[in-house]
Amino acid sequence: MKAVILAGGYGTRLAEETKIKPKPLVKIGNKPIIWHIIKIYYHYGVKDFIICLGYKGHLLKKELNKLNHKKKWNIEYVETGLKTMTGGRVKRIKKYIGNDQNFYLSYGDGLSDVNINKLTKFHLDKKKIATLTAVKYKNPKGVLIIDSKSKIKLIKEKPIEYINGGFFVLSKKIFSYLKNDKNIFEKNCLPKLARIKQLQAFKHNGFWGCMDTMREKKELNKIYKSKEKAWKIWKTE
């Protein structure tokens, strides 16, 4: 199975970094975050990657080719447009999937120690179109449960909830649910699959972190420099 990585967005919330380079090239430690994502998959035997390029894609291609000088990974670069939404980017790589019936999909800014082998088995056993990795997230604010008459039924103080952590396994059937470049994968496609009971959640209770803001970037770098294993499941660089 091939792994598709969405790497074409502008990364506006990381503007301090992304003015000069695409978000997946922002470094964690001494390597860009996309290198860490590839290493996670490679640890589980995945060698074929499709990178969805967009904003400053030429820089991403140049840097990845440099990091892949030993040719450990087979990388296909696909120009998916500057303003294309996530669903549109996925739709554009349809022909690159080849004869595989399923493929992996990851965002270019998320890290986890999710077991890719167990995730794959879960997806194949359930026989649904899409499986997403559900990760625990502690809401920093309290949540109000309000009824139809505006009465507060319950106050949840900083509840722990499951959210979409990326790291998808998708059947090729997914392409039938992606219309055009304006299609937002999370807003247009996933809810539709949920309604027809074709979306499964693989619950992951281990490490997960994303890099949407400078604060999150600093936190990931702090973890990387510590002795905490976190997403660093591989043995050699």
Residues 6-37: tens digit of each pLDDT: 999 999 999 999 999 999 999 999 999 999 99
Asked whether residue 154 is domain-assigned, the answer is no
Report the domain count for the chain.
1
Contact yes or no for 12/18 (Cβ under 8 A): yes
Exposure on the CB side of residue 212, measured as CA atoms within 13 A? 3
Residue 20 lies in a domain: yes
Whole-number Å distance between alpha carbons of 194 and 134: 14
- Whether residue 237 lies inside any domain: the answer is no
The pLDDT tens digits for 103-161 are 999 999 999 999 999 999 999 999 999 999 999 887 666 777 788 877 777 777 766 78
User: Domain range holding 29?
Assistant: 3-134+162-225
- Domain for residue 103, yes or no? yes
Q: What is the pLDDT of residue 138?
A: 72
pLDDT given at position 159: 67
d(CA 136, CA 205): 6
The answer to whether position 232 is within a domain reads no
pLDDT tens digits, one per residue of 154-211? 777 766 789 999 999 999 999 999 999 999 999 999 999 999 999 999 999 999 999 9
pLDDT at 227: 84
Domain-embedded: residue 175:
yes
Q: Is residue 151 part of a domain?
A: no
State the CATH number of the domain containing residue 115: 3.90.550.10
pLDDT score for 189: 96
Flag whether 235 is in a domain. Answer: no
Instruction: Go through 127-166 and write b for each residue having 16 or more CB atoms within 10 A of its CB, e for each that does not.
Output: ebbbbbbbbeeeeeeeeeeeeeeeeeeeeeeeeeeeebbb
At 17, which helix (H) or strand (E)? helix 15-18
